[in-house]
């Protein structure tokens, strides 16, 4: 997921926050966020420029966020007398409650480099090599088995809302019951031991 111009996404139109339009806007935006969250395979946000307000919320709905060095990210809604509902739920999971509260309550924006240091983005990539660096990153993902990526993502997501002992048990069950029933884990292990490239069932 990336922006078509200089910005990744500057958020929704401020006019859509007015009383006569806000409910339909919030519901439509929530559907977009949920659609990203519900994708079974990894979703990467390539933040090529400013990601503010709803733009950052869309990035937060992605599994991995890569940002162009110098890009600004933030939730400035508080300055308009409102708050970002999707970020209120997603941001603490990404950066912890204190950082999330600081960003939401002050409206402060951060550059990609600081965002990477705080865990908001996975990596701040060089401005002059951004597109190529994103392509290299995506090549790492697309070189893996899609069924295994799907299960790995499900295991990580399932652990977010459970106590640690339950999360560990759920991950073990996914590994033993679902993963080991696939062709690709056995192919990957055999390829490693035979010193050859794996041939995934769907790659």
The rounded mean pLDDT for the chain is: 92
Fold classified for 14-141: 2-enoyl-CoA Hydratase; Chain A, domain 1 (3.90.226)
Q: Which of 183, 180, 162, 184 is nearest to 172 (CA)?
A: 180
Q: According to CATH, where is 3.90.226.10 located in the chain? A: 14-141
CA count, 13 A, side-chain hemisphere, 10: 6
Q: How buried is residue 175: exposed, middle or buried, by Cβ count under 10 Å (0-12/13-18/19+)?
A: middle
Residue 67 token pair: 């940002």
Active site residues: 57, 77
Ordered alpha helix ranges (H), 38-108: 54-60, 85-95, 97-106
pLDDT over 80 (residue 180):
yes
Residue 86 token pair: 């999707």
Task: Return the top range by mean pLDDT from 18-22, 111-115, 158-162, 184-188.
Answer: 111-115
If you count them, how many residues does the chain have? 203
How far apart are the C-alpha atoms of 109 and 52, rounded to whole Å? 8
Question: Average pLDDT for residues 24-38, to the nearest whole number?
Answer: 92
Say what the pLDDT of residue 19 is.
79
pLDDT in tens, 38-53: 999 999 999 999 999 9
Say what the pLDDT of residue 2 is.
87
Say what the pLDDT of residue 126 is.
95
Backbone angles phi and psi of 121, in degrees to 5:
-125, 155
Question: Average pLDDT for residues 7-11, to the nearest whole number?
Answer: 82
Determine the 3-state secondary structure of 73 from DSSP. Answer: strand
How far apart are the C-alpha atoms of 112 and 104, rounded to whole Å? 17
Say which residue the tokens 């033993």 belong to: 176
pLDDT in tens, 161-178: 888 899 999 999 999 999
């Amino acid at each position: 997921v990336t922006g078509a111009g200089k910005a990744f996404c500057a958020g929704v139109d401020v006019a859509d926050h007015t009383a006569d339009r806000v409910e339909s806007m919030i519901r439509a935006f929530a559907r977009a966020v949920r659609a990203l969250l519900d994708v079974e395979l990894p979703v990467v946000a390539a933040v090529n420029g400013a990601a503010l307000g709803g733009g950052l919320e869309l990035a937060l709905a992605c599994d991995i966020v890569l940002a162009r060095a110098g890009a600004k990210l933030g939730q400035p809604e508080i300055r308009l007398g409102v708050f970002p509902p999707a970020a209120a739920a997603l941001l603490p999971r990404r950066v912890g409650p204190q950082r999330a509260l600081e960003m939401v309550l002050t409206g402060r924006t951060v550059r990609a480099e600081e965002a990477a240091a705080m865990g908001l983005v996975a990596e701040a990539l060089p401005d002059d090599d951004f597109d190529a660096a994103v392509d290299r990153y995506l090549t790492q993902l697309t070189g893996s088995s899609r069924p295994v990526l799907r299960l790995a993502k499900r295991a990580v997501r399932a652990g977010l809302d459970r106590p640690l002992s339950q999360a560990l048990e759920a991950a073990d069950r996914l590994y033993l019951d679902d993963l080991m029933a696939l062709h690709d884990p056995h192919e990957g292990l055999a390829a490693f031991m035979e010193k050859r490239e794996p041939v995934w069932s769907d790659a």
